[in-house]
Each structure stands twice: as structure tokens, then as C-alpha cells.
Structure 1
Amino acid sequence: MGIQDIIKGKKEWRAHVERVKSLPKDYQIVYKEIQKYLFKVGPVELNEGTDLLTGIVDLFEEGALIGKGVLEVTGNDVAAFCDDLIKDSKTYADIYQESVNQEVSNAMRKATDRIK
């Protein structure tokens, strides 16, 4: 990644943040909670771009434009809304689970080999 890519990424992120700031206050609050949630449990590709977050802002802008409350857009269970968005994506939790399973499998194989 070159310096131009970093500069471009920063400009895109700043523009994204400005879009979020232009949303109604209730949408901003829910967006920030979604962002925190996704950064904790979210998909690996979230670090590779902001397509998911941009899509959420698009959805929120449309909802606000037609006068819907934010929970009418996401539903009352915002975590379930997030989980549905990333259901087909590989998450850091998935990677960790795979590594734990691999470690257990290796340990069991070594223990079995010693018994033989």
C-alpha cells in the first residue's frame, strides 16, 4: 500500500464520517453502536474497506429521508440486524475458533501417538 492509497483511504473515511454526522441523532447513535459491534465481532473484510459500513449509511439515509425511525429500519434487535449482515462472512471469532480446534486436534493426535 502506497502513500497515495493511504491518503485516498483517509479522504474516503472522512467523507464517510461526514455522512454519518449528517444523519439524524437517533441514526447516529445506532450507527456508532453498529460500528462498535462490527469492529468487535465483525467480518475480516471490514478492515479491507468500508463497503459494509457505507451500505449501512446508505440504508440509514434512505430511512431518514422517508421519515422512518432508525429502529423501523434495523428492527428492535440491532445486534441481530448486525449478525444478519455478516452471516455469510468470515469473522475473527471464526478464525480464532478454527485455530483452537486445530490446536486441540494436534494435541489429541500427539497424545494418541504417544499411547501407541
Structure 2
Amino acid sequence: MGIQDIIEGKKQWRAHLARVKALPPDYQIVYKEIQKYLFKIGPIGLLDGPLLPGIVDFFEEGVATGRGVLELIGPDVAGFCDDLIKDSPTYAEIYQKSISGKPGTAEK
């Protein structure tokens, strides 16, 4: 990864955050909770993939139709997130597999 890639990545992240800040306050709160949850669970490729921008797209459509954020995702934010990443491998799962081996054996 070169310096240009890092700079481009920062530009994209700042543009993403600007889109989040343009959402109504209730959407911003829920987005931040979703982001916190996903960063904690750790689906592989979260920052490079389409998941977070897709959530912002979904929220922008909800704002455009005049729906509340909880009408879109339901009352259970964690359940909504789990449904989004149900087919994605997570760092937590990889870690669990790595420590579930037999004692004295190291998996690479």
C-alpha cells in the first residue's frame, strides 16, 4: 500500500463521514451505533467493502421517503447488524477457530 492509496482512502472516508453528517440526527445516532457494533464484531473487509456506504445509501433513501430510522431497521439495532453480516466471516470467528485447536498445536 503506497502513500497515494492511503491518501485516497482518507479522502473516501472523509466523504463517507460527510454523508453521515448530512443525515438527520436520529439517523446519525443509529448509524454510529451500527458502526460501533460492526467495528466490535469485525466482519472481514468492513472498511474496504460496500457495507458501510450501503447503510448510508439505505438511510438516505429512508430520509428521502420520510420514514423514521427505526421504521427502516426495526427496534433491534444489533439484530439488524447481525442480519447484514450473517454470511460474512468475522475476525471473532477466525479467532475462535484458531484457539479451538488441540493444546500444543498452533494453526497458521
Q: TM-score, normalised by structure 2?
A: 0.92
Q: Distance in 2 between matches of 1:84 and 1:50?
A: 16
Aligned 8 A contact 1:42 1:86 in 2: no
Note if 1:79 corresponds to 2:78: yes
* Residue 96, structure 1, aligned to residue 95, structure 2: yes
- Match of 1:53? 52
Separation in 2 of the partners of 1:5 and 1:108? 40
TM-superposed CA distance for 1:42, in Å, is: 2.7
Contact 1:20/1:28 (<8 A) preserved = yes
Distance 1:15 1:108 in 2: 47
Which of 1 and 2 has greater Rg? Answer: 1
CA distance in structure 2 between the aligned counterparts of 1:17 and 1:50, rounded to whole angstroms = 15
1:1-116 → structure 2 map (5 Å cutoff): 1-47=1-47, 49-102=48-101, 105=102, 107=103
Report percent identity of matched pairs. Answer: 69
Q: Between Structure 1 and Structure 2, how many residues are aligned? A: 105
The whole-number CA distance in structure 2 between the counterparts of 1:91 and 1:58 is 23
Question: Does the residue aligned with 1:46 lie in a helix, a strand or coil?
Answer: coil
Provide the TM-score with structure 1 as the length reference.
0.86
| 1:41–1:92 contact (8 Å) kept in structure 2 | yes
- The unaligned stretches of length 5 or more in structure 2 are none
Higher helix share goes to which structure?
Answer: 1
Whole-Å separation in 2 of the counterparts to 1:2 and 1:17:
23
Aligned-pair CA distance for 1:108: 8.2
- Point out 4+ residue stretches in structure 1 off by more than 2 angstroms: none
Name stretches of at least 5 consecutive residues in structure 1 with no aligned partner.
Answer: 110-116
- Give, as a single letter, the amino acid of the residue that structure 2 aligns with 1:27: Y
* Root-mean-square deviation over aligned CA pairs: 1.4
